[in-house]
Amino acid sequence: MQVLILTHNILVERPLVEKLQRLNIEVLSSAKLLTMIQANQVPLEVLSFFDIVIVSETISDQELTVILEKVGDKFTIIREADRLPQKEEKADWEAQGVDEWLLEDETLSGLREKLAEKTLKESVYSIGFGMRQQQDENEQEKRPLPLWNLTRSEREMLSTLIATKEAPISRNDLAIKIWGDSDSASHMTRLSTIIKHLRNKLKIDGVEYDVIRTNWGEGYQLSKVFFDHYVVDDRIMEEIKTGK
157-212 confidence digits (pLDDT tens): 888 888 887 688 888 888 888 888 766 677 777 888 888 888 888 777 777 667 88
Instruction: Confirm whether 139 is domain-assigned.
Output: no
CA 236 from chain centre, in angstroms, equals: 25
Q: Round to whole Å and give the CA distance between 7 and 29.
A: 7
Mean pLDDT of the chain: 78
- Do 36 and 109 lie in one domain? The reply is yes
Its domain, for residue 48, covers 2-122
Same domain, 83 and 175: no
User: What contacts 223, CB < 8 A, 6 or more positions away?
Assistant: 209, 210, 211, 212, 213
The residues near 179 (Cβ < 8 Å, ≥ 6 apart) are 187
Q: Is residue 129 in a domain?
A: no
- Residue range 17-34: mean pLDDT, rounded: 89
* 34-222-49-154 Cα dihedral, nearest 10 degrees: 70
Evaluate if residue 56 carries a pLDDT over 90: yes
Same domain, 74 and 169: no
3-state secondary structure of 147: helix
Mean pLDDT, residues 24-30: 89
Residue 229 CA to residue 136 CA, distance in Å, equals 13
Question: Would residue 40 be called left, alpha or beta, if left means φ above 0 and alpha means ψ between -120 and 50 degrees?
Answer: left
* For the chain, percent of residues with pLDDT exceeding 90: 12
Residues 15 and 65 in one domain: yes
188 within domain boundaries: yes
Question: Based on the domain organization, do 171 and 234 belong to the same domain?
Answer: yes
8 confidence band (pLDDT: 50, 70, 90): very high
- CATH code of the domain in which 163 resides: 1.10.10.10
Residues 42 and 8 in one domain: yes
Report the pLDDT value the prediction gives residue 55, as an integer from 0 to 100: 93
**Going by C-beta distance under 8 Å and a sequence separation of 6 or more, which residues neighbour residue 78?**
52, 53, 54, 55, 98, 99, 100, 101, 102, 114, 118
Comparing 15-24, 31-40, 196-205, the range with the smallest average pLDDT is 196-205
Give residue 173's identity as a one-letter amino acid code. Answer: D
Q: Are residues 163 and 111 in the same domain?
A: no
DSSP 85: P
**Are residues 213 and 153 both part of a single domain?**
yes
Q: Is the pLDDT of residue 137 over 50?
A: no
Cα 116 from Cα 1, distance rounded (Å): 10
Q: Are residues 111 and 159 in the same domain?
A: no
Q: 206: Cβ–Cβ under 8 A, 6 or more apart, which residues?
A: 125, 128, 129, 132, 143, 229
Return the pLDDT at 131. Answer: 39
Structural domains counted in the chain:
2
Q: Is pLDDT above 50 for 82?
A: yes
- Judge if 88 and 154 occupy the same domain: no
pLDDT of residue 176: 85
Question: pTM, whole model, 2 decimals?
Answer: 0.58
Q: Distance (Å, rounded) from C-alpha 93 to C-alpha 230? A: 32
Mean pLDDT lowest for which of 37-51, 115-129, 202-216?
Answer: 115-129
